Amino acid sequence: MKLFIPRETDPDETRAAVLPQHVRQLKDWGWEIQIESGLGERVPVPDSAYEEAGAALISHRREGYASADVIFRVRVSDKEEVALMKPGALHISFFDPFRQPDLVDSFAQARVTAISMELIPRITVAQKMDALSSQASLAGYVAVILAAERINRVFPMMMTPAGTLAAVRVLVIGAGVAGLQAIATARRLGARVEAYDVRPEVEEQVKSLGARFLKIDLGQVGSTPDGYAKQLTEEQLQRQREAMKRFCSHADVLITTAQVFGRRAPLIVTEEMLLAMRPGSIVVDLAVESGGNVEGIRPGSEVEKNGVLLLGLRNLPGRVPYHASQVYGSNLSAMLGHLYDREKGHLRIDLQDQITGRCVVTHGGQVVNPLLKEG
């Protein structure tokens, strides 16, 4: 079986889909691995390290696409690239299929099986493949490091002969995977941390990291069977904003991570709340690429309002590309391991399987994913 890993073409992308350690593992399964020259350039990992691990280097991606049984990528290939793939090939990457119906059709027409890493179910047996979690965790870490680097204060309390420096106050809104890692990182740096999430079940996790959990009575809020938050009503969101106003005004660093699966991220922090923050404060919105939690923050933007620095940076895991590629490559390898029958030496795409059936988007010339078929 042949696996091809092209280099990423998006100028914002620094990650590689695999590191040499993954090449070694897949070689052990008897796979032939081809990588496009420059795959790890921005990680950085030189071509020679992939070659030493057993990958063959190719300079023309066209050649790799045409012969591969499986293609690994961080970001999904485009239509022109899909047209180069052979029918029956398997493509595994982040995809965002709901926002790219034309690309979904291209995969179906080319009879390429496409797997969307975002659609891997958040269940215990699929944890090894859960790229949303592996990347979100790094994003939470990076958000705090960025804030610590940009703020005009030190994070920990310091008692000095010249007086006591108060610990920075960090407020984290959304205590899922990214939020919990942000809390842990801020705590390690010595900050005073408060956190809020609509899912009451995260209170214990927040407290176990040494942070204070804020409570807001919003009435009935629920979670989906997958553990995701349900969308709030406009009235509940309004109540949340009212209550958050005071907490935001005390924060030196505000990190927002609130998302609702398959929907625009909720707008939680309004301009009025930002105006109540002290000059010099930092706001990092991790939900910026799915609509944003903070009014006025745009993807890729860095703006100052009333002395408050608003960061809406894209691809935060890409700021730690070595570790991001390490865990993402392990997620991809685990996914392939789930589909590959090592004894018979072929791939099994079983749409009845609880993991495969949820993340395969197209197969056998059809759009097969239940979420996409529902529209």
Q: Mind telling me the catalytic residues?
A: 122, 127, 130, 133, 228
DSSP string computed for 191-249: -EEEEE-S-GGGHHHHHHTT-EEP----S---B-TTSPBPPPPHHHHHHHHHHHHHHHH
* Other residues' Cβ atoms within 10 Å of the Cβ of residue 203: 16
Q: Which is nearer to ligand NAD, 109 or 223 (CB)?
A: 223
**Least separation, in Å, of the C-beta of 7 and ligand NAD?**
28
**H/E element holding 363?**
strand 360-363
Residue number of the CB closest to ligand NAD reads: 176
- Classify residue 273 by burial, with Cβ atoms within 10 Å: 0-12, 13-18, 19+: buried
Which residue in the block uniquely carries the two structure tokens 């706001």? Answer: 283
Nearer to ligand NAD, 29 or 98 (CB): 98
Task: Provide the β-strand partners of residue 3.
Answer: 33, 70
* Residues contacting residue 177 through CB under 8 Å, at least 6 positions apart: 132, 133, 136, 137, 140
* Minimum CB distance to ligand NAD, residue 287 (Å): 8
CB of 254 to ligand NAD, least distance (A): 12
Shortest distance, position 216 Cβ to ligand NAD, whole Å: 9
Nearer of residues 68 and 288 to ligand NAD, judged by Cβ: 288
Distance CA 139, CA 210 (A): 20
Measured from the CB atom, the residue of 123 and 371 that comes closer to ligand NAD is 123
Six token digits for residue 261: 């699966």
**How is 123-147 classified by DSSP, letter by letter?**
SGGGGGG-HHHHHHHHHHHHHHHHH
Q: Site residues (CB under 6 A) for ligand NAD? A: 122-124, 127, 130, 132-133, 136, 173-179, 196-199, 227-229, 232, 240, 257-261, 266, 268
* Smaller CB separation from ligand NAD, 213 or 322: 213
For residues 58 and 83, the answer to whether their CB atoms sit within 8 Å is no
Q: From the CB of 324, what's the least distance to ligand NAD, in Å?
A: 16
Which one, 189 or 265, has the nearer CB to ligand NAD?
265
Nearer to ligand NAD, 77 or 290 (CB): 290
Q: Where in 275-338 does DSSP place strands (E)?
A: 282-285, 301-305, 308-312
Yes or no: say if 284 and 311 are a contact pair by the CB < 8 Å rule: yes
**Residues forming beta bridges with residue 93, ordered by sequence position:** 116
Closest separation in Å from C-beta 218 to ligand NAD: 8
- Inter-residue contact 100 to 124 (CB < 8 Å): no
Task: Give the gyration radius of the chain's Cα atoms.
Answer: 22
> Least distance in Å: CB of 59 to ligand NAD?
38
Q: Minimal CA–CA distance to 308: which of 142, 150, 149, 145?
A: 150
Distance CA 99, CA 326 (A): 27
